[in-house]
Amino acid sequence: MCYLACLALGTLIIVSKSVNLWSSNIASEVTVQIRPANGSEMQSAIDKALMVLKATPGVTATTVLEKSDAAELLEPWLGSAKVLEELPIPRLISVEIDPDNPPDYDQLANSISVQVPGGSLDTHRQWQAQITRTAGTFTLSSYGILLLVSIAAIALVIFATRAAMEANRDTIQVLHLAGAENSFIAFQVQRHFLKMGARAGIIGMIGGLASFAALGFATKSDQAGDLAQVGRQLLYGPLAFSPENYALLTIVPLVATLISVTTARLAVVSMLRRVL
């Protein structure tokens, strides 16, 4: 249960980091696409687009992607480079934006479409709603898992407490006849479940830490720099945890111990009142 809680909490952290990364990228970069147009020279269209961009307030930098770069982006979907050589691949210009002083996107899009043959502006805003919905789904799922794990843990502790009380009914009655108060008996059971909860929480936390450390190592060790690796970084962001993220997972054993101790005490006190 604690291991599942660690996985759910880690998923929340990864989703949060990915959404923040995507939001930052969307706010700081747009793309100009120039499609091959009849009767126009591609380099001339690129030069016109660069002139429009340099004259636009809020644009901090521009980078013209080579045709080979665009072909590499399309290769996983369209096949080998030989096939791509026969296609009219558009040229792309990456445009860095000042997030604090962004340009008027509508005006910029209109200027590019009018002055640049085959030119269009992609602000990537259409992806933002989809990203938000997807992130919301993962977040709700993670919270749901945490809730189910908590409910299951409470149920297991109640069941284990009742089983222990039934198995030691005679001993409990003798202690009660000898003068032991309900609080003393409850404390003994509570101490037992304190150890169990702490042990389970630590084991689950170690498993979760190992899983996310392995995930971070696997993604970090892929140094090929291929398009698949770039795509994973763009889509999911950095999967490796920071020290602060690992520290958050230490909450799991603390919460597990608290749930175990509190539930056990409430269950014992309730049973002692009914039995004794």
pLDDT value for 223: 46
In a domain? residue 123: no
Q: Return the structure tokens found at 117.
A: 């043959």
Give percent above pLDDT 70 in the chain: 83
Residue 91's domain spans which residues? 36-117
**Claim to verify: residue 163 and residue 250 sit in the same structural domain:** yes
48 and 164 part of one domain: no
Task: Tell me the pairing of strands 59-64 and 91-97.
Answer: antiparallel
Residues β-bridged to residue 93: 32, 64
Q: Is residue 188 part of a domain?
A: yes
The pLDDT value recorded for residue 85 is: 65
Domains identified in the chain, total number: 2
> What pTM was computed for the model?
0.61
Task: Give yes or no: residues 183 and 211 share one domain.
Answer: yes
- Indicate whether 81 belongs to any domain: yes
Q: Report the candidate in 25, 127, 40 with the shortest Cα–Cα distance to residue 90.
A: 40
Q: Which of 92, 117, 142 is the last residue of a domain?
A: 117
Return the pLDDT at 251.
87
Which pair of tokens denotes residue 258?
A: 């608290």
Residues 214, 169 share a domain: yes
What are the backbone dihedrals phi and psi of residue 82, each rounded to the nearest 5 degrees, phi first? Answer: -65, -40
Q: Which of 117, 150, 170 is the last residue of a domain?
A: 117
Edge-to-edge order in the sheet of strand 29-34: 59-64, 91-97, 29-34, 119-122
Residues 147 and 96 reside in one and the same domain: no
Whole-number pLDDT of residue 110: 92
Query: For 191-213, how does the pLDDT look when each residue is reduced to its tens digit (9 = 90+)?
Result: 888 888 888 889 988 998 888 88
Mean pLDDT is lowest, of 71-75, 122-126, 133-137, 174-178, for 71-75
Phi then psi dihedrals of residue 252, to 5 deg: -60, -55
> 229: which 2 tokens?
């690796």
Q: State pLDDT tens for residues 46-87.
A: 999 999 999 999 999 999 988 777 777 766 666 665 666 667
How many angstroms separate the CA atoms of 180 and 162, rounded? Answer: 19
